[in-house]
Structure 1
Amino acid sequence: MKNVIVKERARKIPFKIYIRNTWQLYLMLLIPVIYMLMFRYRPMIGGVIAFKKFNVFAGMWNSPWVGFANFKEAFGSMDFWNALVNTLILNVGDLILGFPVPVLIAVFLFEIRNLKIRKATQTILYLPNFLSWVIISGIITQLFSTSGLVNDLIRGTGLREVNFLSSPFIWRFVYWFSGIWQSAGYSLIIYLAALSATDPSLGEAAYIDGATRLQRIAHVTIPQIRPTISIMLIMQLGKIVSIDFDRPYMMGNTLVKSAADVISTYVYSVGLQAGRFDFATAVGLFQSVVGIILILSVNKISKKMGQEGIM
């Protein structure tokens, strides 16, 4: 009987019947496909501007070719290298300080058996993700400026005020702290979803064997979500040379320009404000190529280490 059922399922369905039964699914799929083609893949053609001396009036295709001249100009600029170094410093700091935080919070929340407390904490931690960096930078200014709440508390204890927003070294820690506060809730949901799919019997077996709660977390819970952690790490490393514009631009100021001037703000000031669209495209293309190389490299390393990659 089973063999008959398998043969019936394996029998090829006529194309007309197949389309008649599934055309609604393909119709729904058509909308995101068109969106990706129009707004994701079509703009990639504009990357050719990086190899031209772009003229707005002549257009992209009629502008003269200059080869790698825009790349040579970028690589020969000290401002570009300073922006690249600042980008790496801020992104590596986000990775080292911010990446483990949602993992630890998710694990500890998962260990809480009171569902009301868990859901309330999860909601509170996720709310900052809805705030724009314009609002967050205003909150940071109110808290950490020389006349802000934090310095008022410091002066109230008899200590000297701290230049949180005017010292490049301290400003970086404020930048990393704000990033953890804003984005930890989003990653938290992903890790909680991965934890909900873990096998509870393994933890129970470890408990019977005498393992403490911390031992169960370290040797049972976290290893079960290691593939999810690996994928999130790969995605984070792929963006190590690219950085959003709004966060450093809104939080930065002239006093910390040496630390806040990153690739995105450099492209905005030198490329877009000055009308150097070809130069801005070259820098952006450099970021994309390096990002792809990093993703492929880290993905390959993770596979060799026995972890699941993304490709």
Structure 2
Amino acid sequence: MLKRLLAKDKWVLFIIMLPGMLHFLVFKYIPLTGNMIAFQDYNLFKGVWSSPWVGFQHFQTMFTYEEFFQILRNTIAFSFMSILFGFPAPLVLALLLNEVRKMWIKRPIQTLLYLPHFLSWVIVGGIFINLLARDGIINTMLGWFGVSPIDFITEPEYFRGIVVSISIWKEVGWGTIIYLAALAGINPHLYEAAVVDGAGRWKQIWHITLPTLWPVIIVLFLLRIGSVLESNVEQILIFLNPLVRDVGEVVDTYVYRVGLQRSQFSFTTAIGMFQSIVGLCLIAAVNTLSKKTTGESIY
């Protein structure tokens, strides 16, 4: 392959590919060597190569640490809610936007739905913390119906739902881009033939649109399921407080709190490796299942 790329008529392609290869080599593969500190008692002053080896001691500590399993349950709960409610949301929104025929209405709606994606979580957090405060707009409106003020952000029973809902609101518009692009590629003659056969809009969506989008849905679901043990650490940190830590602490915030604030780098690296291994196994399992049942897969 290298000889072909270095041929006179291929050298341009090699030059185009070289920056991407260097990016993955420098920023993806070389940093993987740092994972060895998960098997060391890492000392910041001794460095990676001089710190003593402890084998699987940190992994044993992780699986015998009671707090870790509570954090793991919280992470899975957040991921399950995000997949259950957040994954279908861009698809449903894209289908609804696709039904809007007047472009002077459709384009402003798309723009308004995309805008929250470009806001930082600090801004979004500040907005919703004020909205959900005891003296905020939400409680003021509830007061009109005789409901006592609720401090939503400090109530454990509301915390997960609030965080997941805000995440969906922020990213749902941006997530529709892929689906809208896929919808634009559907052959319009299929819909014309369906109309001739007497199919209404719902039947067209069920028998033409969704089957055509199925490969895209499978790929996006596989990418999503691989990060089931990962959370948006910035989002959780904005809303997390001591009163909801029992239900709000996730693996990523725990790694931040213990790894950076307590300097337990080796232990938190072991947790990170555990996350990556679980994600890889889930992707491989779901991909195999998808290939056997639907014929669609990413490899």
Cα distance in 1 for partners of 2:169, 2:271 equals 30
In 2, distance between residues paired with 1:204 and 1:192? 19
Matches of 1:291 and 1:156, distance apart in 2? 47
- Aligned 1:103-118 pairs, distance under 5 A: 103-118=91-106
CA contact (8 A) 1:227 1:307 kept: no
Number of aligned residue pairs: 297
CA contact (8 A) 2:75 2:250 kept: yes
1: CA distance between counterparts of 2:288 and 2:270?
Answer: 27
Aligned partners of 1:163 and 1:170 also within 8 Å: no
Superposed CA RMSD? 1.6
Is 1:127 the counterpart of 2:115 in the alignment? yes
Could you tell me which of 192, 196, 199 is aligned with 2:187?
199
Give the counterpart of 2:230 among 222, 230, 242. Answer: 242
Are 1:25 and 2:13 matched, yes or no?
yes
Aligned to 1:102: 90
Report deviation, 1:156: 2.3
**Are 1:49 and 2:30 an aligned pair?**
no
Q: Which amino acid aligns with 1:292?
A: L
> Residue deviations 1:26-56, cap 9 Å, x none?
2232112111111111110011110111111
2:186 & 2:126 partners in 1: Cα distance?
40
**Unaligned stretches of 5+ residues in structure 1:** 1-13
Q: Give CA deviations for 1:64-105 in whole Å, capped at 9, x if unaligned.
A: 111110011111111111111100000110100111111011
Kept in 1: contact 2:4–2:10 (CA 8 A):
no
- The offset of 1:260, in angstroms, is 1.1
CA contact (8 A) 1:249 1:260 kept: no
Greater Cα offset, 142-151 or 23-32 = 23-32
Q: CA deviation at 1:133?
A: 1.0
Aligned residue in 2 for 1:296: 284
CA distance in 1, matches of 2:153, 2:232: 19
Aligned residue number for residue 63 of structure 1: 51
- How far apart, CA to CA, are the structure 1 residues paired with 2:44 and 2:164? 39
Matched, 1:269 2:257: yes
Equivalent in the alignment of 2:75? 87
Partner of 2:218: 230
Structure 2 CA distance, aligned partners of 1:201 and 1:226? 19
Question: Over alpha carbons, which structure has the higher Rg?
Answer: 1
C-alpha distance in 1 between matches for 2:235 and 2:159: 13
SS at match of 1:291: helix
Shift of 1:15: 6.1
Greater mean alpha carbon deviation, residues 121-130 or residues 206-215: 206-215
* Aligned sequence identity (%): 38
Offset at 1:113? 1.2
Q: Contact between 1:145 and 1:164, CA under 8 Å: does it hold in 2?
A: yes
Looking at structure 1, the residues matched to 80 and 116 of structure 2 have their Cα atoms a distance apart, in angstroms, of: 22
Corresponding residue to 2:64 among 73, 76, 97: 76
1:4: which partner in 2? none
1:138-164 CA-partner distances (Å, limit 9, x unpaired): 111011111111111111232222332
> What amino acid is the match of 1:95?
I
- Following the alignment from structure 2 to structure 1, what is the Cα–Cα distance between the partners of residues 173 and 9? 40
Give the stretch that moved more between structures: 173-182 or 116-125.
116-125
